[in-house]
Amino acid sequence: MRERVTFLQGPSADVDPAALQIEAAGLLGPSAEAIRQDRFSLSLDELPRDLATLLGAFDELHLKWASPVAYETLDPFGSRISPGLHVLYTTAENDGVKATKLCSALQAFGSLDCTKPEAFTVTTTEPGSDKKSSYFYQELNDLSAFVASSVGTLCSSSDATCESRLRNLRTASSLDISYESGSQTLKVTPLWPLERREIAVPRSSGRTEVGIFAQDTPHKAEMHELGVAGLLSVLGEKKDPSATVFSFPSRHRTSDSHFSCEFLEPAGLHPTLQLKLSSAKLPLDDAGCAPYAYFTLPKTIFADRYQYEDSLFLASKNLTASRYTSFPVDLEAPAYTTTTWGSSVLLELAPPASGQPGDWTAEVPLHLRYLKPSASGRVPVEVPYPAVFWACDMAGEVDFPTNPFDRRQLGYDGLFSSQTSFWHVAPKPVSGNRITSALYVPVLRDEGAAWIRLGTTVAVGLGFAWVLWKLLGVYRVAGYGSVAAEAARKDKKTR
């Protein structure tokens, strides 16, 4: 197993090498305002047999989770996805057996509604590629269930360090788990937000590399480059850390703006979600940039793709176009009969022409599905914030994969060219700390549903009895032949 631990501070931060204690047991330093990212790389033979067998059935498997609690971050860790659990897999043959086995394994995260292969939608992983992948999403507030189920299966009873690492995932802001058959390697990458934390890393059984960095982009860096400077140490090899400075191209960047998201009132069954952005200023002056919002909508709500074909309607909402909608999307089915997890929608936004700082809004019309009756007559629904970003076309060829912190397979990045950089707009809660938009949906009360079922049964029964009574009356007067003749006469008349 190879392990990389990265602490990243702001540009003005500095850690004194003399304050670091590097012993056989690990590294210990002072507390600092920093982001922490861990990355574990494991080969298949280092994994439990059942897990290795499952992974071997896929060409690619990517799990990404993001917390619904807002958090602060720094470049190069600025990429964003909607809160919840995102699952994407690619196989040579998309058969239902593999999806069923994967769903069984995913229950480690909690009760996930993926038991039917139809729960997954089909998507394209790269622009211009005919390679198809299957995608699933579900709301997931935290990783508590995953931690509880993993401690007993991934850690031995004597490995206190492994158990401690897993329990720390409860405070993580994101978790990426990726497997690619080409490398035969599973990568697990949790991220903790920018906050005051102790710089402490216990040594593991494999190679452990620790970097303590601050942002430090060179003055002559290209517009697509970022830089860091700090201390690098490999536990068990050297007693003293090495000073290091390096720069790299970054596909994902943080913009200087933020956005909030809420439903306009009254919402009704056709609610409008309003995005409020703090600035329309372009992140790059000499690149073609446009703002986008990538929505991950649970099955309770959907966007009508036909509604987004009207350019005048879109202009009235400060939208430019709908660039992508996942399939299938049933426009009529109630939520409780819909097997698909939901839908993804990429909308291009239309900012003010001035392109200057200052609040501006875009409105996204959506449609609620019919929900099951409840005792109160109202059901709460939460919609995760979208990922909002400026997509900029970079001139020339930029080798983004050389970034040691590069992040891919986010859902929306496969809808753009490989030479696109994403400048992310930070989500800001309207109230509290959750980056979700909530509303209460009016539904039928439980007692009302019982009366409606009874009334429907009585009405159908009475109608059927009336038809029989009329047919019986005709039969009594003229016999069966008259009934048949009368039916034939009416049929001929209708033709």
Residue 438 has pLDDT above 80, yes or no: yes
Tens of pLDDT along 317-341? Answer: 999 999 999 988 888 888 889 999 9
Separation of alpha carbons 323 and 127, rounded Å: 13
The percentage of the chain sitting over the pLDDT mark of 70, rounded to a whole number, equals 91
Give yes or no for a contact between 302 and 343, defined as CB atoms under 8 angstroms apart: yes
Separation of alpha carbons 242 and 213, rounded Å: 12
Average pLDDT for the chain? 88
Among the ranges given (101-115, 215-229, 477-491), the one the predictor scored with the smallest mean pLDDT: 477-491
- Position 350 scores a pLDDT of 95
Confidence grade of residue 374 (pLDDT, cut at 50, 70, 90)? confident
The percentage of the chain sitting over the pLDDT mark of 90, rounded to a whole number, equals 61
SS3 helix, strand, coil % of the chain, rounded to 5? 25, 40, 35
Confidence grade of residue 491 (pLDDT, cut at 50, 70, 90)? low
Give yes or no for a contact between 186 and 44, defined as CB atoms under 8 angstroms apart: yes
Q: Most confidently modeled of 346-350, 379-383, 471-475?
A: 346-350
Separation of alpha carbons 58 and 56, rounded Å: 5
Give yes or no for a contact between 146 and 109, defined as CB atoms under 8 angstroms apart: yes
**Which among 435, 441, 396 is positioned nearest to 419, based on CA atoms?**
396
Tens of pLDDT along 54-76? Answer: 999 999 999 999 999 999 999 99
Tell me what the mean pLDDT of segment 78-99 comes to: 89
Residue 259 structure tokens = 């956005």
Confidence grade of residue 480 (pLDDT, cut at 50, 70, 90)? low
Residue 449 has pLDDT above 60, yes or no: no
- More confident call, 136 vs 127: 136
Tell me what the mean pLDDT of segment 173-187 comes to: 95
Separation of alpha carbons 421 and 282, rounded Å: 13
Separation of alpha carbons 81 and 348, rounded Å: 17
- Position 236 scores a pLDDT of 84
Q: Angle at Cα 295 formed by Cα 116 and Cα 323, nearest 5°?
A: 105
Tens of pLDDT along 239-278? Answer: 889 999 999 999 999 999 999 999 999 888 899 999 999 9
Burial letters for 253-289: b for 16+ Cβ neighbours within 10 Å, e otherwise? Answer: bbbebebbbbbeeebeeebebbbebbbbbbbbeebeb
Going from the C-alpha of 45 to that of each of 39, 53, 58, 454, 492, the distances in angstroms are 18, 10, 16, 60, 76
Q: What is the number of helices (H) and of strands (E) in the chain?
A: 6, 24
